[in-house]
Amino acid sequence: MSAKVPAADQTLRVLTLLARARGPLPASMIATQLGLPRSTVYHLLTTLQEHGYVMHLPEERRYGLGLAAVELNSAYARQEPLSRLGRPLVAALVDRVRMSAHLAVPHGRDVLYIVEERAPGAPSLVTDVDVRLPMPLTATGRAVLAALPKAQARALFPDRAAFVHRHEDRDGIDRYSRLRAVLDETVTRGFALERGSVTPGLESVGVPVLDHRGWPVAAIALTFPEGSVPDARLSALAAEARATAEILSARIHGRVARDR
């Protein structure tokens, strides 16, 4: 492991703390929470303020993230890191299992598909790049929702008006209690399963891609003709998707993972 650069390490810790806080913080609180001398924290905040990464609220005597930090977020989105990192991994997954696969990210109550890789000879899927579909209907959406705290999932679907149907939905997810039952089954099973809710005749298994806090930032799913995979093999299929999700999670955060 390489040696840390103290100033860089301290600067990043300050930015991380401000990013996770509910609002701007006093310098004294930043120093206390990070275990740093106040003088060091003031020097760091002054430098960050000069570069626009921190803003000072003099009336409140607090510090919060500045516009430069917001620009980093926009740059991250523009560079499409998830799709760039995920595409070769999803392609390798398709090569291994010979089934179509896709990568999707949560987008409000929907999932947005950012990568799709079709297996040779497989039919076109509605889960094409840039397509959005309701989370409760898809394996990727169910994988994300099942990994969220229950209160967060409930807040996304407060009433029946929050649910959308594409066609006859055999799971009948038209209220939160029914969605919760599906999500609880997903947690117990260890992976999400969708049969004919998106496209009649097709089914999918899905697993979440988790960040360093265990928060679902995306999901990977495999899609195949309904009934073509015995129930006893679904867990092994989900394990293949999960191995890919774990590698992607590690790459997002710059950690080393054992590629398959």
| 63-97 pLDDT per residue, tens | 998 878 877 765 665 557 888 899 999 999 999 99
Mean pLDDT across the chain = 88
Predicted local distance difference test score (pLDDT) of residue 186: 97
Predicted local distance difference test score (pLDDT) of residue 259: 41
Cβ-Cβ contacts under 8 Å for 214 (sequence gap 6 or more): 147
pTM for this one? 0.72
List domains and CATH numbers for the chain: 6-73 (1.10.10.10), 80-252 (3.30.450.40)
Cβ-Cβ contacts under 8 Å for 35 (sequence gap 6 or more): none
Asked if 40 and 51 touch (Cβ cutoff 8 Å), the reply is no
**Which of 100-109, 112-121, 164-173, 212-221 bottoms out in mean pLDDT, i.e. has the lowest?**
164-173
Predicted local distance difference test score (pLDDT) of residue 205: 98
Residue 201 carries which DSSP code? Answer: T
Q: Calculate mean pLDDT across residues 144-157.
A: 91
Predicted local distance difference test score (pLDDT) of residue 10: 94
Q: Calculate mean pLDDT across residues 111-134.
A: 87
